[in-house]
Amino acid sequence: MDLLVRVLSQGPLEEFDVKRQDGSKKTSKSVTVKMMDGYDTIVGQAYDDLADSLEKHKLDTNRMYKVQAKISVSEWTSSQTGALMQKNSIRINSIETI
């Protein structure tokens, strides 16, 4: 999905371990970006190389950006209530100044 947005804020670079299918661990990185398209405010995450790039070159809150993102739904069963829970996740694949 392509979005035209203004960045409201950018979080710090975070590192975390991910377990690979072969059982080994990999360190991954992410940066959280809060954005607004004029109507909706959304939060997305950039990972690994893009996260490193955003950490080095902070996004300007006074500029507009074109964001290419993948929106997906995660589902799980609540351990407290047994109810089916759902959450949207936004993964930022690219971001460029307009």
| pLDDT tens readout for residues 33-86 | 999 999 999 999 999 999 999 999 999 999 999 999 999 999 999 999 999 999
CB 4 within 8 A of CB 23: no
CATH superfamily of 2-97: Nucleic acid-binding proteins (2.40.50.140)
Taking the C-alpha atoms of residue 40 and residue 9, their distance in angstroms, rounded to an integer, is 14
Give me the pLDDT at residue 56, please: 94
pTM, two decimal places:
0.86
CB 67 within 8 A of CB 82: no
Give me the pLDDT at residue 37, please: 93
Provide the phi-psi class of 81: left if phi over 0, else alpha when psi is between -120 and 50, else beta: alpha
Q: Where are the domains of the chain?
A: 2-97
Give me the pLDDT at residue 44, please: 97
Q: Average pLDDT in the 5-33 region? A: 94
Confidence category of residue 4, pLDDT binned at 50, 70, 90:
very high
Give me the pLDDT at residue 43, please: 97
